[in-house]
Amino acid sequence: MAKILVNNSGPLEGEVKISGAKNAVLPLMAATLLTPDTCVIDDVPDLSDVMVMRKMLESFGAVVSMSDPGKLSVNAAEITTVEGDAELVSQMRASTMAMGPLLARCGKVVMPLPGGCTIGKRPIDLHLKGFKALGATVTEDLENSSIIIEAPKGGLVGDAIYLDFPSVGATENILMAAALAKGPTILENAAKEPEIVDLANMLNKMGAKIKGAGTDTIRITGVDELSGAIHTVIPDRIECGTFMLAAAITRGKVLIRNGIPGHVRPIIAKLKECGVSVNVDEEGILVDATKGNLVATDIKTLPYPGFPTDIQSPFMAFLTTVEGTSVVRETVFENRFMHVVELNRMGADISTDNSREATIPGGKQLHGAKVRSTDLRAGAAMVLAGLVATGTTEVSEIYHIERGYEDFVGKFKSLGADLMRVEEHDV
């Protein structure tokens, strides 16, 4: 298994270009199953999750090719099966994004139940609630731990759906299913993330009739069929936030090109509260922490447009280095503090009275240690901590990081970070 060795790197300086968003490209790829025509998706990041989704599409019979770097072409004219591949689903929860498109296009889908992961049990009850509201029946095949979802004989029928929680995945799956349902669907308490808007934009290019994406009420008027489209993925706001924090934690100065400021407002606001200078202009987002004297702040993660849960662990790493005590509350996932133990191995001295609230005393000089990536964002957080720790930090299980960050090591090196990727036997 590969690791990343990180040495104390001093202030990062320079500029970095943000890649296409992992959490946008995965649903966009799933949406190509909705049409027999060819779809072309541009700015696709080179990530292991994208490779898994490509294999998922091919397992259903789609023909997938990468004509130029980042340009993915998918043709799902022939759907050869509606049964999800258990191995692929176990590798990546986002494989469940195929449920909505296959149910809408083929009238049936059999999906192995996605495993939970380190950040929580991550059920799909809200996805299934949406499909049932559109007339589908859901039966559990306990023997094969999978679910069978079937549309009525005449196809899905639009209806009103209320999401108990603004689930990103459920919103995306329901959007894709309702796009081909008969009649109107109104989705209330929908997720408002930019990735939802990106998906709705591509679906509308394909001929769907979706209004209100990005608000908590989305109206979909079903159509009989969808055609192909050409679409460019939005930049990755979580990668953008990660590099903003890399500048902040190292007290450096980094220009982040092509990140969308409107997608990272909570991160800009919180960094400013800590005393970091953040300027936005046509060049990009300039994060300047060279003036130092940074202070603590409190963080509470919420669905968009609140503070993003995916930036919670990188921000916590940063908070260990500023003067004063911070409190971090995680409200989206029930177990997303696994990185606390790892940061404490480096001397962070963080305490948590449950898996929802952590107290960070701050003002720490972290020291290098052997630490794990407990999820992809926590892995990035450990690298950030390693940049300012004394000595060398060895971050293992970096396959998590490579799921969601394109050229992670290369981009950090271009900013002056002293780190390297090594295979287990090299260490």
- What's the order of all strands across the beta sheet hosting 351-352? 299-300, 326-329, 357-360, 351-352
The residue nearest ligand EPZ at its CB is: 169
Residue 106 is which amino acid? Answer: C
Q: Which of 43, 150, 310, 330 binds ligand EPZ (CB under 6 A)?
A: 310
117 is catalytic: yes
List the one residue from 168, 316, 350, 358 that touches ligand EPZ (CB under 6 A). Answer: 168
C-beta separation of 341 from 375 below 8 A: no
Residue 98 interacting with ligand EPZ (CB under 6 A): no
Q: Is 56 in the site for ligand EPZ (CB under 6 A)?
A: no
177 binds ligand EPZ, rule: CB under 6 A: no
Q: How far is the CB of 96 from ligand EPZ (least distance, A)?
A: 8
User: How many residues sit in the footprint of ligand EPZ (CB under 6 A)?
Assistant: 24
Q: How far apart are CA 426 and CA 345, in angstroms?
A: 23
The residue type at 184: P
Upper half-sphere CA count for residue 23 (Cβ side, 13 Å): 17
Instruction: Give residue for tokens 């990106």.
Output: 198
Is 268 a binder of ligand EPZ (CB under 6 A)? no
Sketch the per residue contact string, 4 through 23, with ligand EPZ: x for CB under 6 A, - otherwise. ------------------xx
The residue from 158, 207, 386, 404 that contacts ligand EPZ (CB under 6 A) is: 404
Among positive and negative, which fits the CA dihedral 119, 198, 384, 293? negative
Q: How many whole angstroms separate alpha carbon 71 and alpha carbon 254?
A: 28
Residue 399 binds ligand EPZ (CB under 6 A): no
- CB atoms under 10 Å from CB of 77, counted, come to 11
CA distance linking residue 355 with residue 339, whole number of Å: 11
Among 169, 207, 222, 241, which residue interacts with ligand EPZ (rule: CB under 6 A)? 169
With CB under 6 A as the contact rule, the residue among 16, 26, 311, 387 that binds ligand EPZ is 26
Residue among 309 and 321 whose Cβ is closer to ligand EPZ: 309
Ligand-binding annotation for 23, yes or no, is yes
Q: Which of residues 147-166 bind ligand EPZ (CB under 6 A)?
A: 165
Does position 91 interact with ligand EPZ (CB under 6 A)? The reply is no
Spatial strand order in the sheet of 217-221 = 160-162, 184-188, 217-221, 209-211
Could you tell me if 53 and 29 are in contact, meaning their C-beta atoms sit under 8 angstroms apart?
Answer: yes
As a whole number of angstroms, the distance between CA 192 and CA 171 comes to 9
Site string for ligand EPZ, 360-379 (x = CB under 6 A): ----------------xx--
Q: Is 89 annotated as belonging to a binding site?
A: no
22 phi and psi angles, rounded to 5 deg: -55, -45
Find the shortest distance in angstroms from Cβ 94 to ligand EPZ.
4
Give the chain's largest Cα–Cα span.
66
Q: Contacting ligand EPZ (CB under 6 A), which of 131, 333, 408, 412?
A: 333
Residue by residue, DSSP assigns 211-276 as E-BTBSEEEEE--S-----EEEPPB-HHHHHHHHHHHHHTT-EEEEET--GGGSHHHHHHHHHTT-
Q: Does 337 bind ligand EPZ (CB under 6 A)?
A: no
Q: Which is nearer to ligand EPZ, 67 or 354 (CB)?
A: 354
Q: Which residues are catalytic?
A: 117
Residues that bind ligand EPZ (CB under 6 A): 22-23, 26, 93-94, 120, 122-127, 165, 167-170, 309-310, 332-333, 376-377, 404
- Which residues are annotated binding-site positions for UDP-N-acetyl-alpha-D-glucosamine? 93, 122-126, 310, 332
